[in-house]
Amino acid sequence: MTSFDTLPLKPALLASVETLGYATMTPVQAQSLPPMLEGRDVIAQAQTGSGKTAAFGLSLLQSIDVDTIRLQALVLCPTRELADQVSKAIRKLAANIPNVKLLTLCGGMPLGPQLASLTHDPHIVVGTPGRVQEHLKRESLHGGGIKVLVLDEADRMLDMGFTEAIDDIIGRIAKHHQTLLFSATYPDEIRAVSKRVQRDPVEVTVDAPADEKPAIEQRFHEVEPAQKPDALAQLLGGVHATDTGMNQTLVFCNMRREVDAVAQELDRRGFSALALHGDMEQRDRDEVLVRFANHSCAVLVATDVAARGLDIAALPLVVSYDIAHDPETHTHRIGRTGRAGQSGLAITLCTPRERPKAANIEELNGTPLRWVPLKISPARSKTLHLAPMKTLVIDAGRQDKLRPGDILGALTGDAGLAAKDIGKIDVFATRAYVAISRALANKALERLRAGKIKGRNFRVRPLG
């Protein structure tokens, strides 16, 4: 066990680490932080949940000179959802450092407010490659003072076609900077990027000890393409029974059009299912993620890229409706379940033509796959598999000085709900979402509409 106080960190950062309850470093932190703090380039293979964000967050905050008002650290992420998560994590780490200015710059958001925020240079920018590139081209963002560049989830940025944008960004920022590259997988393309943009990087690869690896049970079912919808509905109908505790499932498809088709088919069969992919408007994507995270949606059907924004601590079941194109992506998919010491189940549907892909997974794992025969029964009459919660939307948010405690107070006060019937509360800039036990959602809606939140009347409506 290695303590953070063995590192040459600013007292303010050590205080933040203590406040956040980080007792000892995770393996990726213990291996990557020392060279990063020395100013070395680092390439690290790190899964979501490994502590990588805190690692590069502490390192870049250590290098920031708050008295110098210019952009000094740039973090690039594949999706807005991940950029938001990274921004929140860095802000928490910077809580004890006065006057640190961090901006999140992502596509899918109006350009005007971002340009207004950039009239004074931030110290740190977290954003998606396309929007950051646009600001650098406009010269609304100035990259000449950047000391640290972080490429987070670099493999997904390459998958999404951001290679040219990243190269262009690197050509527009300070030549002499530290480059930190984090990737869940190490395909040849990532090694090529590292060779192109890094100088003598320290390579960090962390395998969890056998006793800490998640207990993930894998099952492979061979099915004909035409049988897939019935197979999926049958599998979900079994595991979503109330006595299994498996009331949430993430279903992966390889194509966006397949995501929509599968979600619609599951909805038709009585499942509370939603789709998530890159063609959706940003607000729609936000609301889907909120509903899945707060248990107002039982099944989320997504592409691999879109699912990168998910941050669900205990996800009991992952299904590959389409087998992944490469074994590394399959590994990342199943890593979504069995987290934080929980056990998990990963099911893969494989058509006869997809058997070579399964063989590649088997080769990477070095162990035989578990093939389980699946007897597919004819489709039964529609059975409802409803999510336990419903989401209410309040048309007010941070801009209205609304906080989660204000919403909780209104619901447990005038609305008369018990705290146990109120789930996750998410407050965005202009709206807020609150999960309510399904049986009490209508009562909560009526009471909130009739009463006040923080002494004011806001529009409240059900979502979905």
**Which residue, among 195, 223, 181, has the nearest Cα to 56 in the 3D structure?**
181
Look up residue 33 and give its two tokens: 């932080």
What's the pLDDT score for residue 339? 58
Look up residue 49 and give its two tokens: 């949940």
Superfamily of domain 389-463: RRM (RNA recognition motif) domain (3.30.70.330)
- The H or E element containing residue 365 is helix 355-365
What's the pLDDT score for residue 242? 42
Tokens 């801009």 correspond to 399
What's the pLDDT score for residue 31? 94
Q: Please state, in angstroms and rounded to a whole number, the distance separating the CA atoms of residues 321 and 274.
A: 15
CATH number of the domain located at residue range(s) 4-205 in this protein: 3.40.50.300
Any idea where the domains of the chain sit in the sequence? Answer: 4-205, 215-365, 389-463
Q: Please state, in angstroms and rounded to a whole number, the distance separating the CA atoms of residues 295 and 390.
A: 8
What's the pLDDT score for residue 447? 86
Distance of CA 290 to the CA centre of its chain: 11
CATH number of the domain located at residue range(s) 215-365 in this protein: 3.40.50.300
What's the pLDDT score for residue 125? 97
Look up residue 167 and give its two tokens: 């190269």
Three-class DSSP category at 329: helix
Longest dimension (CA), the chain: 69
Q: Please state, in angstroms and rounded to a whole number, the distance separating the CA atoms of residues 172 and 231.
A: 51
Those residues of the chain that have pLDDT short of 70 are 1, 48, 207-214, 239-246, 308-314, 338-343, 379-381
What's the pLDDT score for residue 9? 93
| CATH fold match for the domains 4-205 and 215-365 | yes
In sequence order, what are the residues at sequence separation of 6 or more whose Cβ sits closer than 8 angstroms to the Cβ of residue 287?
A: 391, 433, 463
User: In 59-196, where do the E strands start and end?
Assistant: 73-76, 102-105, 124-127, 148-151, 178-183
